[in-house]
Amino acid sequence: MSDLTLPLERRDFSAQERLLAQTADFRVVTFAYPSGVEALRLENARGQVTLLPYLGQMVWDAEFDGRRLTMGHVFPYPRKGASILDTYGAFAYHAGMLRNGTPGPTDTHPLHGEMPVAEMDRAWLRFGEDAGGPWVELGGQCDYVMGFGPHYRAQPRVRLGAKEAAFLIEMQVRNLSAHPMELMYMLHANFAFVADAEIHQPAAWTPETTKVRRAVPGHVTPSPEFLSLLDDLAVNPARMRRLSEPALYSPEQVFYVTGLGTGTGGRTRQVMALPEGDGFSLSHRPADFPHCVRWIFNDGDAQVAAFALPSTCEPEGYTAEKAKGHIRILAPGEELRFPVQLGHLSPEEMPQVLAEVAALDQD
């Protein structure tokens, strides 16, 4: 069948849930949180994703096969604000575009830049079908323009298949300026922290390929014990392969994973196997994202195992990343796409996927 596109309007969202569309495979429900933030829920036979069409088009929540994928946090619902810190509870958000990471001493940008809480200009719903079967997709667009400064168009989308518990999140960005544009982008996917989960990666667990971040960010007050732990993780990163020491991740631990093996289409995949036999999965192309960050944090306010954060740079802020040569430049009119497939794996799906990850490690 041909694709069907339905424009969304803010009047489609109210405090009371509304069934906006329904097919044999999907339900689409709209509502608004007490904060006034509009939300749209895509449902299939295996679960649902809750999206914020006009607030950075975040994926606020995700649940499949009875498993909630989203990080633990203290926010009862999403809120509008000046930065992601005003509403840090999303399952996934778009970090960047002009600036990214934790701002350093000389940086002036907000944590993870302007895109996480950007107000979208338009949003739409699409239904279609491809070789994998029927799908439903939320798309959106916002134009960032600054007088005598950057001008770009961001077009994110989230696509959910009829029988899948994994879904596509993609950002498309185009430089609309007559001048080159600096780009720093990360798909910040915040999976739940699960004690005793095991991370599978198609890269060696060595100090050369799984590097602990030694720089201490400004929001962390290092104790002698914390600094000693960094020393140990620097030579023994495999200590965090299994999350069997929950207290290890307060304060946070950050790793940079390099040398990821790839397979068909140049894709790599990382998996977090859970004690109950199911798992979390994230797949991307290193050609799109030359860096991969791992962020684990577990305390009374937040519980997150962001085991794979594909990125065009490391998250140390603009000044530090520019000094490393990690700032990507888009020529006038240039457009890039950043697709990521992520979600849940059932116990029945896990053996095949783990075998695929192991095979990537051998390439």
Query: pLDDT 10s digit of each residue in the chain, 363 long?
Result: 578 999 999 999 999 999 999 999 999 999 999 999 999 999 999 999 999 999 999 999 999 999 999 999 999 999 999 999 999 999 999 999 999 999 999 999 999 999 999 999 999 999 999 999 999 999 999 999 999 999 999 999 999 999 999 999 999 999 999 999 999 999 999 999 999 999 999 999 999 999 999 877 777 777 888 899 999 999 999 999 999 999 989 999 999 999 999 999 999 999 999 999 999 999 999 999 999 999 999 999 999 999 999 999 999 999 999 999 999 999 999 999 999 999 999 999 999 999 999 999 654
Q: Give CA separation, 260 vs 15, 136, 266, 359, in Å.
A: 45, 31, 10, 12
Pairing of strands 210-212, 253-257: antiparallel
Structure tokens at 203: 């890269």
Phi first, then psi: what are they for 356, rounded to 5°? -65, -40
**Whole-structure pTM value:** 0.96
Length of the chain: 363
Q: Which amino acid is at 222?
A: P
The neighbour count for residue 205, using CB atoms within 10 Å, is 15
Select from 260, 247, 232 the least CA-distant residue to 299: 247
Q: What is the CA radius of gyration of the chain?
A: 20
Select from 1, 24, 47 the least CA-distant residue to 345: 47
Burial track 118-154 (b if 16+ CB lie within 10 A, e otherwise) = bebeebebebeeeeeebbbbbbbbbebeeeeebbbbb
Phi-psi region of 232 (alpha: psi -120 to 50; beta: other; left: phi over 0): alpha
Q: Which amino acid is at 231?
A: D
Residue pair 269/283 in contact (Cβ under 8 Å)? The answer is: yes
The neighbour count for residue 23, using CB atoms within 10 Å, is 12
User: From CA 59, how far away is CA 128, in angstroms rounded?
Assistant: 21
Q: Which residues pair with 174 in a beta bridge?
A: 153, 335
